[in-house]
Chain A
Amino acid sequence: MAYFLGIDVGSGYSKAVVLEGKTLRSYAVMPSGGDYKKIAGKVAKSALQKINLTLADIACTVAAGYGAAMVDFADRTSTDISCNAAGIYHLFPSVKTVIDIGAQYTRAIRLDSEGRIANFIMNEKCAGGSGKFLQIIARILRMEVEEIGDLSLTAVKPVEFTTACAVFAESEAVSRISEGALPADILAGLHKAMASKIVTLVTRVGLTPDVAVTGGGAEDIGLVKAIEAELEKGIFVADEPRITAAMGAALFASERV
């Protein structure tokens, strides 16, 4: 069976997925840095090496994302929104609404019954509902961004935040810390503020169950639970939520041959 490569060069992270037919064989995730051309080659090589392949073994490559145009070894490019939709549809065919929480953008995507995009809304103007907010939260609590999700779930009395602005929330959090609030309670409050901002976006696109969350934000269990609480609905999260768009790109590659 032939191999296909999908590359997603995001503003924060770059991802590569290798499929054999339509089956996932390997993937890699790396920080994008400033040189998209270089990172695309690097992340592809890393995913391929894990299963002892080279670019020469790939039948077709599709690139997507912020830096898609810089992927010089791709056969074609596609938008990361349609790739993400295709990746999610492949994993969870019942999903009609995708919330993608990236490093700088948060998107709400509505799918039709064939997994095509029916509508989408993007928030690129405000850091309030984006992965950037999670980084700011982690920094003020002197934690790694990977650690905040679990701690948030242990909150006893979540702090109420009056704002979803990343700048104002940061100063509010600093005041609450100085007043002795527990980090877990602060995290839970910030996750809630973020979730309500994200849910506003989802409501605007038209909330249709089932719902899935993708992107780096989906790796934060505290945020995912906060979104579930706001939506009053369970949501799907892929095992590796950052690679769904790269997977969709690889699926497009497999259809193009």
Chain B
Amino acid sequence: MNYFAGVDIGSTMTKVVIIGDSIVASLIGPTGPEHRKLANKVMEDALNQAHLKFEDLSYIVATGYGRINVPFADRQITEITCHAKGLHSLLPTAKTIVDIGGQDSKGIKIKDGRVHNFVMNDKCAAGTGRFLEVIAESLNVPLVRLGELSLTAVKAAEISSTCTVFAEHEITNQLANGESLANLVAGVHLSVATRVCSLVKKMTIEQDIAITGGGAKNIGLIRALEAKFGCPVLVPPEPLITGALGAALMGKEIFEKFAEEGQTPTRSGRGLEEARLFL
């Protein structure tokens, strides 16, 4: 059996997926400044989970914002390509992917399982996971509780500021003026959904729409996105790992293409070593 690994180093989380015929291990850990250097540790944990050794891996693909910091990867591929690949394998009917990450958000159009078009916002924290993080902290609500809390809202509070900094101030004021926490959190989700929706609408949206990234774990945000897009959306069972899964699948595809011609692709030749960051 040949095994393939995908490593997705995002701005906030690092994900590793190992596949054989199907997924044999998947792991998610935080990407701190140190962790970006320590991609080898996350890989080691994933190998342990699958009861495999590093030498058992036939090909490794790195993706995501920190993909150049994976010395043992055989190839780097952009997260747009990997997301499309991974998601298409999980939800073949999806034609539009909305990825809400820790520090960016993206819209990807898929045609025949490939990237047809994409849009991205990594310039402004509004409409990204970072917005939710900042607001959750200032409201003193754990990030993971925002979703269920917003579902108890009577009416979403209107948040007029787009900028995270100004919105934080506005929300604190509204809370002091007696607005309920649940209504405010619902308003926050609507604000993120509005931003994401206007980003993705720069492309023609085709159904089905699938949501990935950390934002997809927030049920309140999912409901707000459904309201904004005006249709139900799909969410994969583990929305964080689609990029890493796609990377592993890309690796498998590359390896098999070479194998058809009786060859093997060139490997990086590096072991499970730490990345040296060039700063």
What is A's interface to B at a CB cutoff of 8 Å? 104, 125-128, 132, 136, 163-168, 175, 178-179
CB contacts (< 8 Å) of A125 on chain B: these are 161-163
Q: How far is the CB of B51 from chain A (nearest CB, A)?
A: 36
Q: Which residue of B lies closest to A169 (CB)?
A: B125
Q: How far is the CB of B227 from chain A (nearest CB, A)?
A: 23
User: Counting CB contacts under 8 A, is B262 at the interface?
Assistant: no
User: Counting CB contacts under 8 A, is B123 at the interface?
Assistant: yes
B33 touches A127 (CB 8 A): no
What is B's interface to A at a CB cutoff of 8 Å? 33, 103, 123-125, 130-131, 134, 161-166, 279
Q: 30 A-B residue contacts at CB 8 Å?
A: A104-B166, A125-B161, A125-B162, A125-B163, A126-B124, A126-B162, A126-B163, A127-B163, A127-B164, A132-B165, A132-B166, A136-B165, A163-B123, A164-B123, A165-B123, A165-B125, A165-B164, A166-B163, A166-B164, A166-B165, A167-B125, A167-B130, A167-B131, A167-B165, A168-B103, A168-B125, A168-B130, A175-B33, A178-B33, A179-B33
CB contacts (< 8 Å) of B161 on chain A: these are 125
Q: How far is the CB of A87 from chain B (nearest CB, A)?
A: 27
CB contacts (< 8 Å) of A175 on chain B: these are 33
A178 to B33, CA, bound (A): 9
Q: Which residue of A132, A168, A178 has the most chain B CB atoms within 10 A of its CB atom?
A: A168
Q: How far is the CB of B100 from chain A (nearest CB, A)?
A: 15
Q: Which residue of B lies closest to A174 (CB)?
A: B33
A128 to B130, CA, bound (A): 16
Q: Which residue of A104, A125, A127, A175 has the most chain B CB atoms within 10 A of its CB atom?
A: A127
CB contacts (< 8 Å) of B130 on chain A: these are 167-168
Q: Which residue of A lies closest to B279 (CB)?
A: A179
Q: How far is the CB of A59 from chain B (nearest CB, A)?
A: 38
A221 to B251, CA, bound (A): 53
Q: How far is the CB of A2 from chain B (nearest CB, A)?
A: 41
B103 touches A127 (CB 8 A): no
CB contacts (< 8 Å) of A132 on chain B: these are 165-166
CB contacts (< 8 Å) of A136 on chain B: these are 165
